[in-house]
Structure 1
Amino acid sequence: MNGQQAAGTGTTARRMVLGSRLRRLREASGVTREEAGYSIRASESKISRMELGRVGFKTRDVADLLTLYGVHEEAGRAAVLDLLQEANAPAWWQGYGDVVPGWFQAYLGLEEAAAAITAYELQFVPGLLQTEEYARAVVRLGNPAAPDTEIDRRVTVRLRRQRLLTSRPAPELVIIVDEAALRRPCGGPEVMRRQLLRLVELAALPQLTLQVMPLGGGGLAAESGSFTILSFPERDLPDLVYLEQFTGALYLDRPAEVAEYAAAVRRLRAEGLSPERTLALLHSILQEN
C-alpha cells in the first residue's frame, strides 16, 4: 500500500494472504508475471495487483494459475481455493456501504484479521472502547447535518466492531489515549461519566493494555497525530500503519515507516502513565465530576 489509499472492499487481509501465496507459487515455478497474465487472459499489471491483494479473485483464474504453477495435488489446490472462498465472502460491513466509505471498509477487514492492534488517540476515546451514547455524540459531531437514521447506522457499525473485544481469539490491544480526550465532555457530563466508567470496566480485560498520555507529555513522540498499527498472525502479511484523514486514509507498510511508528509507540508507552496509574487517573477524573 505504501502510503496510498487502499482500494476495494471485502476481506482485505485474506486477499493479501491469497495474493502472497500465489506470488510464492509463481516464483517457485519460475513463471513470470507476463506469462501468468497471458494464461488467464489478463495483463502483467493485473497479476501484480492480484499478488498484492488489491483486486478480487475469480475461481477460474486461480484454478488456472494453480495448474500453470504445477499445483496438481488435490490437497494443495483445496487449501488455496478454500482461502479464495474466504477472500470472496461478503463482509458484514458491506451492508452499510451508504455510511462506510470504501477506504474504511478496507480498514475494517484488516482490523478483524489483526492479531494485535496498537493505537494512539488524541481527540476522542477510540471507537473500539466507546459506549453507545459517546459514539453517538462523536458521530453527530462529525456529521452535524446527517439525519437520525444515518447517525443510527454509523453508530451500529461502530458498536459492531466492538465484538472484537470478546472474539476468540481476541486480538491483543494496546490503547494509548491522550488525557485531553478523557477531559473533553463529548455528549455532556453524564455521557462522559458513563464513558469513563466503561473504560474502567474494559481495563480489566486481559488482552487490553490501556494507558493515558498525561497533559503536557509525549509531544515529540506524537508529533504525527493519531495512528494505529495492525499486526497479523499470517507471516505473509506485514505490519501496517493506518492514518485516518478527513476524506480518506493512508496505509503504510514500508518497513522503515512502520519502524518509525513502532518507535513512537515505545516512547509514548514509556512517557505515558502505567496501566495502574491510568486506572487511578480515571477514578480521579470521575471523582472530580
Structure 2
Amino acid sequence: MGTTQAGGGATVRRLLLGTQLRKLREARGVSREEAGYSIRASESKISRMELGRVGFKERDVADLLTLYGVEAEHERATVLGLVRDANATSWWHEYGDVLPAWFQNYVGLEEAVSEIQSYEVQFVHGLLQTAEYARAVITAGGHVTEAEEIERRVELRLKRQALLTCDHAPRLVAVLDEAALRRPWGGPELMCTQIERLLDLADLPNVRLQVMPFGSAGLSAEVGAFTLLGFAEPDLADVVYLEQFTTALYLDKPAEVAEYRHAMGNLLADSLSPEVSRDLLHTVRKEL
C-alpha cells in the first residue's frame, strides 16, 4: 500500500500523470486501442487512465513509456515517480465505508483546486454547513438511517471544511438561493446557528457569498445546482460537478465548462452583492 497523503496531492498527481501519458501517446501517433493492446487492456482503460480516474500499475506505465519512445532513464524515472505518488492513500480513505466511489473523486478534486464556484438551490454548500445542519440534511435524505453512519458522514463533512482555512486555501465563490436559507432544516434554532456560521465564513478573505433573492427572474430559474472547480496547474482542465441522487456527473470538455462558467457569471450578476447578501442574512436570522 502507498503512503498516506494529506490534501489533494494524490488526486493532482493522478490527473497530471494521465495528462502526461495522453500527450506522449498523441505525440507518438499511437491510438488508444494500440496503447491498450500493449498493456493487455482495453481502449476504455487507457481513456480512464488518461483522465486520471483509475489507479496506475507501474509496469503498465513503464510499458506505455516504451511504446511512446521515452527511453531516457531520467525521463522514465520522473514519470514512474508520479505513479507511486498517484497511488498514495488519501486521508478520506478511512471513510470509504460511508463515502460513495463517485463522491471520492469530488473530495479529491475539491482539495486540489485553486477556486470553487458553486450555485446551491436547496442546501447550504457542504463547506459552509454546521455540524447540526449537516446532520439534519443527511438524516432527512432518508437513505441513511444508522446513527453511526450519520455521524461519520457529518465528521467527514466537517473535516473537508478545514480546506477553507488551510495555508493554501482555495477561493470559494458561493451563490446561495434564498430558498435554502428559508427552508427550516431542524428548526429555527438550528437555522439561526447556520446563518451565523455563514456570516462568520463570509468574513474570510477567500470566501465570497452572494444570495439569489426570491423574485429574481432570469437564468436562476433555469439552472440547477452545480459546482465549478478550477485548478492552478495549467495542464489540468476545469471540471463541472453535477450531483444527483445516487451518482454524479463530471464535465471537463472546454465547451461544456465554458457554458457553466458563463452561467456562473450571470448568477453572480443577478444575485445580491456580498454586502447586501449579508444584510439579508441578518434579516432572515431575525425572522426565525
Same fold (TM over 0.5): yes
Structure 2, unmatched stretches of 5+, are 1-8
- Cα distance 1:102–1:263, how it changes in 2: closer, same or farther (>3 A)? same
Q: Deviations over 1:19-59 (max 9, x none)?
A: 11011122334444444334433344433332222322101
Question: Could you tell me which residue of structure 2 aligns to residue 180 of structure 1?
Answer: 179
Partner amino acid for 2:22? Answer: R
Q: Secondary structure at the match of 1:136?
A: helix
Bigger mean CA deviation after superposition, 140-149 or 188-197: 140-149
What are the equivalent positions in structure 2 for 1:1-289 lying under 5 Å apart? Answer: 11-143=10-142, 146-289=145-288
Q: Secondary structure at the match of 1:54?
A: coil
Q: How well do the aligned residues superpose, as a CA RMSD in angstroms?
A: 2.1
Partner amino acid for 2:223? Answer: S
- Cα distance 1:36–1:145, how it changes in 2: closer, same or farther (>3 A)? closer
Q: TM-score, normalised by structure 2?
A: 0.89
Q: Secondary structure at the match of 1:210?
A: strand
The answer to whether the Cα contact below 8 Å between 2:118 and 2:174 also exists between their aligned partners in 1 is yes
Percent of matched pairs sharing the same residue: 64
Post-superposition offset of 1:165: 0.6
Q: Secondary structure at the match of 1:221?
A: helix
Partner amino acid for 1:190? Answer: E
The answer to whether the Cα contact below 8 Å between 1:11 and 1:110 also exists between their aligned partners in 2 is no
Partner amino acid for 1:242? Answer: Y
- Cα distance 1:218–1:159, how it changes in 2: closer, same or farther (>3 A)? farther
- Cα distance 1:259–1:31, how it changes in 2: closer, same or farther (>3 A)? closer
Q: Deviations over 1:207-244 (max 9, x none)?
A: 11110001111543341311111111222222211111
Q: Secondary structure at the match of 1:113?
A: coil
Counterparts of 2:235 and 2:284 in 1: how far apart (Å)? Answer: 44
Structure with more contact order per residue of length (Cα contacts < 8 Å, sep ≥ 6): 1
- Cα distance 1:179–1:33, how it changes in 2: closer, same or farther (>3 A)? closer
- Cα distance 1:32–1:175, how it changes in 2: closer, same or farther (>3 A)? same
Q: TM-score, normalised by structure 1?
A: 0.89
The answer to whether the Cα contact below 8 Å between 1:164 and 1:170 also exists between their aligned partners in 2 is yes
Counterparts of 1:105 and 1:242 in 2: how far apart (Å)? Answer: 12
